[in-house]
Structure 1
């Protein structure tokens, strides 16, 4: 497998700390001394935030930054309904799932009702990494296999088991010998054939396939959402091999795509396990899986599972409030409308700018290729310049993809048409400035 781009394609270069304003330089220095070098910061000039509200984040001077990146606060930063639910529950009870509490049962019932995978169970963790790790354990137990297929720039988590399945972490994090990667499903790639070859290659090396694991929006591969439906034949192929299809919905779930609650539903497939995380509690640490009952039954009888904080009443209260807000504020409908407006507008901008190529998206999840105007080749350097130019204009986005050249646009779900217009104004200014060099 060829080396992939570092996960922080627009990260802060610590060797340039002396160029920062004094207050920022001091905090960056303290952070480095306290947290060490493994942590990274966004942007050539890191930005400090002290509060958030709706689709905006605010720096210490009170300047508002339009958040077009963070999917964790999916119903908006500091949503009052989530805040009230968490505060009320924290003042009442917070314990683990070995005691009976109505909240976690009611939430599990509501969550499972949003899925289209038949009779299923819910299990709770604290992070998406833990959810994917648990899904792998179940898949290996059920199938007796160990092999896993992922895309060539996938990201699925930070545990030891998941890092081996996350090529986007770069060449210094080796993949496991039981892992096969397939090219991202872009134009010209026969994705189903690539998966079939990976299955046969595992078998040739004496490894039985346990699972195909895919982010339903292929976020780290460049936000590859089109056309809807292309994953269904892959699910059939995986099932024919006696393995499980695991849909990683950490980034594409909770109405992110507008047309459906879950990304896999756009493809008309029935996954065996669905993993969920980040947006589930609007920033509180709750994640989990939905798993078809017949797959979990034997695991449940033979293997003990417990997570001290997974599914605790406070985080469940936050997660329940998220479902309430999605429903009462009609966010899936507005996501679909605003997302279509934004995608069409960015596509028009791309048609007039030599810096932008293909624009893809579903709902409020867009990817736009950045290219070298002279050659048409992917340009991570120009993408980083655009991302940093947007930050200077107080609009937050990031970049993704194997070459780090795909603008990643993924705002909180209350992002409306007026916010899209603010975003488009800044994007036009930045493209003009970067184009001038």
Structure 2
């Protein structure tokens, strides 16, 4: 894991050292902590997280709390509903229907049905079950550093989990569509050709294609938002091969790009299935698959779907509060306006720091790529890590992404203000000045 705490290193207090040891003893070795010196976070409010000493940290990384930490509308909705009813979807209930109708109304008309789960991993798992039933295939095409979840079947097409997590024999990876490193090539044509080659290789090995799945901002591949529209050819390729296109909107969705509610809209296309997760309940575990009805027909006729907590009344109350708040408070418009201000500020820093080879983004999702020099564009993961950890010391939280772990992943809550962005840019400027 990039930007992870290494036991035995870091400037930990005796109390923190004891907690780290206790954590390892009771939670085992698989968990990881962020930053060279881990944080002991005890409270969150708005755009800030607070440690055990009461120090505030500007959170520009945690997109789970998309409305900010402990948003009053979501807290109230959860508190009220949990005192009335919390049960599964095997009973008729207005709230799940009201929310389903309100959610699907934000999508193109063709995407008119929704199924609920608890996590993005579950949503992607369910989407692939539906895709297999619809297409009769099993083959999956993903980008080469994609992340789509942690269940056994989804981890098998999440190459960013690393070489210790095997990809499935039915999975083919294609290079991420990197405009910065494209050498002037036609990115749309190249990505389409790569997907076509992956489909051909699946068929060569007797595997029928089922799906192309992408995070529409390519978050784990390094935040790759441009050029708009380049996905169209690849989507046509998978459909021509009998497969479906799945848009993973766990990170790009719910207004984050500022231009539209969903990241796929930037490509002027309509997916066959869309998966939702983290920001949907502002931290409450709720997720969904939104789909064309005809894609789910075969699955629905042959297999019943049940999820004890997916779509329960409390989850729907939280999700409804999130959607209402985004619409009522104009947070999509805020993401566009403040995101532009944030992006301009970071690009201004790049004018004075050649280590920033490229700065790119859409709305409140920005990637800043560190390189050894702008001529060679060799990734510089070490400088990126030093900047991340220095910013953490200065009270601003971010992390890194990309195959080389050299891209700052900046995705603050949708309630971020221009003043918050100015503070972020000031701290980043100081970290750039103080690291080498």
Give the CA RMSD over aligned residues.
Answer: 1.1
Alpha-carbon distance in structure 2 between the residues aligned to 1:105 and 1:61: 44
Aligned to 1:338: 338
Alpha-carbon distance in structure 2 between the residues aligned to 1:40 and 1:204: 39
Deviation string, structure 1 residues 26-54 (Cα, Å, up to 9, x no partner): 11111111111100000000001111111
Q: Compare 28-37 and 374-383 and name the one that shifted more.
A: 374-383
Shift, 1:373, TM fit: 4.1
Deviation string, structure 1 residues 351-382 (Cα, Å, up to 9, x no partner): 21022111110000000101124964101111
Aligned to 2:14: 22
Alpha-carbon distance in structure 2 between the residues aligned to 1:351 and 1:210: 45
Aligned partner of residue 289 in structure 2, secondary structure: strand
Aligned to 1:141: 133
Aligned to 2:299: 299
Shift, 1:227, TM fit: 1.1
Instruction: Give the alignment partner of residue 97 of structure 1, picking from 64, 89, 102.
Output: 89
Shift, 1:15, TM fit: 2.8
Aligned to 1:4: none
Deviant stretches of 4+, over 6 Å: none
Do the aligned residues in 1 keep the contact of 2:401 with 2:408 (CA within 8 Å)? yes
Alpha-carbon distance in structure 1 between the residues aligned to 2:257 and 2:62: 15
Aligned partner of residue 384 in structure 2, secondary structure: helix
Alpha-carbon distance in structure 2 between the residues aligned to 1:355 and 1:432: 11
Q: Compare 172-181 and 346-355 and name the one that shifted more.
A: 346-355
The two structures have a TM-score, normalised by structure 2, of 0.96
Alpha-carbon distance in structure 2 between the residues aligned to 1:79 and 1:314: 16
Shift, 1:120, TM fit: 2.2
Aligned partner of residue 290 in structure 2, secondary structure: strand
Alpha-carbon distance in structure 1 between the residues aligned to 2:411 and 2:40: 20
Aligned partner of residue 213 in structure 2, secondary structure: strand
Shift, 1:152, TM fit: 0.3
Alpha-carbon distance in structure 2 between the residues aligned to 1:231 and 1:386: 33
Alpha-carbon distance in structure 1 between the residues aligned to 2:336 and 2:229: 18
Aligned to 2:199: 199
Instruction: Give the alignment partner of residue 80 of structure 1, picking from 69, 72, 83.
Output: 72
Give 5+ residue unaligned stretches, structure 2.
Answer: none
Deviation string, structure 1 residues 231-274 (Cα, Å, up to 9, x no partner): 12211111111100000000110001000100001111110000
Task: Please state if 1:426 is matched with 2:432.
Answer: no
Do the aligned residues in 2 keep the contact of 1:370 with 1:379 (CA within 8 Å)? yes
Alpha-carbon distance in structure 2 between the residues aligned to 1:120 and 1:81: 27
Deviation string, structure 1 residues 323-360 (Cα, Å, up to 9, x no partner): 11101111011110000111111111112102211111
Give 5+ residue unaligned stretches, structure 1.
Answer: 1-7
Alpha-carbon distance in structure 2 between the residues aligned to 1:223 and 1:180: 21
Aligned to 1:5: none
Deviation string, structure 1 residues 109-155 (Cα, Å, up to 9, x no partner): 00101111515210000000000000000000110001000000000
Task: Map 1:166-245 onto structure 2 (within 5 A).
Answer: 166-187=158-179, 188=182, 190-245=190-245
Shift, 1:62, TM fit: 1.1
Alpha-carbon distance in structure 1 between the residues aligned to 2:223 and 2:48: 23
Deviation string, structure 1 residues 374-412 (Cα, Å, up to 9, x no partner): 964101111111110110001000000000000000011
Do the aligned residues in 2 keep the contact of 1:117 with 1:271 (CA within 8 Å)? no
Alpha-carbon distance in structure 1 between the residues aligned to 2:207 and 2:308: 34
Alpha-carbon distance in structure 1 between the residues aligned to 2:193 and 2:351: 32
Do the aligned residues in 1 keep the contact of 2:111 with 2:272 (CA within 8 Å)? no
How many pairs were matched up? 427
Alpha-carbon distance in structure 2 between the residues aligned to 1:115 and 1:235: 18
Aligned to 1:367: 367
Deviation string, structure 1 residues 170-225 (Cα, Å, up to 9, x no partner): 11111111100000001325111100111111111111100001001100000000
Do the aligned residues in 2 keep the contact of 1:116 with 1:265 (CA within 8 Å)? no
Do the aligned residues in 1 keep the contact of 2:338 with 2:416 (CA within 8 Å)? yes
